[in-house]
Amino acid sequence: MLSFNELLELTLDSGASDLHLTVGVPPIMRINGKL
């Protein structure tokens, strides 16, 4: 499991505009307008 800081780094590195976090659901990033 990734730490919160690792998730933020991955979000920035991938060029995502959003990071959606919900309990019980894997993290989802919006990249190029798609989730």
Q: Is 27 in contact with 7 (CB distance < 8 Å)?
A: yes
pLDDT tens digits, one per residue of 1-35: 899 999 999 999 999 999 999 999 999 999 999 99
pTM: 0.77
Closest CA to 33 of 14, 20, 18: 18
Q: How many domains does the chain have?
A: 1
Which helix (H) or strand (E) segment holds residue 16: the answer is: none
The reported pLDDT for the residue numbered 1 is 83
In the numeric block, which tokens belong to residue 28?
């989802």
| Single-letter code of the amino acid located at 22 | T
Identify the DSSP state of 17: S
Phi, psi of 23 (to 5 degrees): -60, 130
